């Protein structure tokens, strides 16, 4: 039995993945992986996700240059969520979000309104030139 067989894949063959920054503990992003993406992530030591919108593998940083070095791969007690401990590379401070922010979780609810709680570190138009 392969270690990949122990993952509880959903009916589409995917598992949710959280990328957490080593050192700060910041949750940088949420994405999905299929079996091939998780195997490649473990093999390469860099995050590879599955893009549901593009229906293909997505090596984080392939377009932006903001790669994720993977230090640890963990799974929750139900075997249905994966947690990556990563270092965000390609910009200092690290940019994980396609909006040019450190974290994809930059919106904060205050008084019934969502507002940006983190600044844009780099204009996304310049990231994806």
Q: What is the pLDDT of residues 78-107, one digit of tens each?
A: 999 999 999 999 988 899 999 999 999 999
Residue 58 confidence (pLDDT) above 90: yes
Query: Is 10 flagged in the annotation as binding?
Result: no
Residues 61 and 68: beta-carbon distance below 8 Å: yes
- CA neighbor of 29 nearest in space, from 76, 66, 77: 66
Residue 129 confidence (pLDDT) above 90: no
Nearest-angstrom CA–CA distance, 63 and 13: 25
Measured between alpha carbons, how far is residue 48 from residues 11, 32, 37, 43 in Å? 20, 9, 5, 10
Query: Is 123 flagged in the annotation as binding?
Result: no
Mean pLDDT of 26-55: 97
Query: Is 92 flagged in the annotation as binding?
Result: no
Where residue 115 falls among pLDDT bands split at 50, 70, 90?
very high
Query: Is 104 flagged in the annotation as binding?
Result: yes
**Mean pLDDT of the chain, nearest integer:** 96
Residue 1 confidence (pLDDT) above 80: no
Residue 74 confidence (pLDDT) above 80: yes
Where residue 60 falls among pLDDT bands split at 50, 70, 90?
very high
Say what the pLDDT of residue 128 is. 83
Query: Is 78 flagged in the annotation as binding?
Result: yes
Q: Does residue 31 have a cis peptide bond before it, meaning omega lies within 30 degrees of 0? A: no
């Amino acid at each position: 039995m392969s270690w990949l067989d122990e993952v509880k894949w959903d009916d589409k063959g995917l598992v949710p993945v959280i990328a957490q920054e080593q050192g700060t503990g910041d949750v940088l992003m949420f994405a999905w992986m299929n079996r091939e993406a998780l195997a490649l992530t473990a093999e390469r030591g860099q995050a590879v996700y599955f893009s549901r919108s593009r229906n293909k593998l997505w090596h984080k940083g392939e377009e932006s240059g903001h790669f994720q070095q993977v230090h640890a791969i963990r799974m929750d007690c139900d075997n249905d969520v994966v947690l990556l401990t990563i270092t965000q590379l390609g910009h200092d401070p690290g940019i994980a979000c396609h909006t040019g922010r450190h974290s994809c979780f930059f919106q904060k609810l205050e008084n019934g309104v969502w507002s940006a709680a983190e600044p844009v570190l780099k204009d996304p138009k310049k990231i994806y030139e």
